[in-house]
Amino acid sequence: MKSELEAKINEVKGEVSALRSDLGVLTESFFVSNFLGSIKEGGEKSG
């Protein structure tokens, strides 16, 4: 019984860490695209 519960907890932990890494990649690419967009806009305005 206890090992079943532990297995379930580990399974959930694995899903959570996978979700976290996916979210990390998404937010990272979002910030990078925003950053590049602001650089482009700034360059066009000053140019």
pLDDT tens per residue across span 1-47: 899 999 999 999 999 999 999 999 999 999 999 999 998 888 776 65
Residues in the chain: 47
pLDDT for res 47? 55
**Single pTM value for the model:** 0.53
Rounded distance, CA 12 to CA 8, Å?
6
pLDDT for res 7? 96
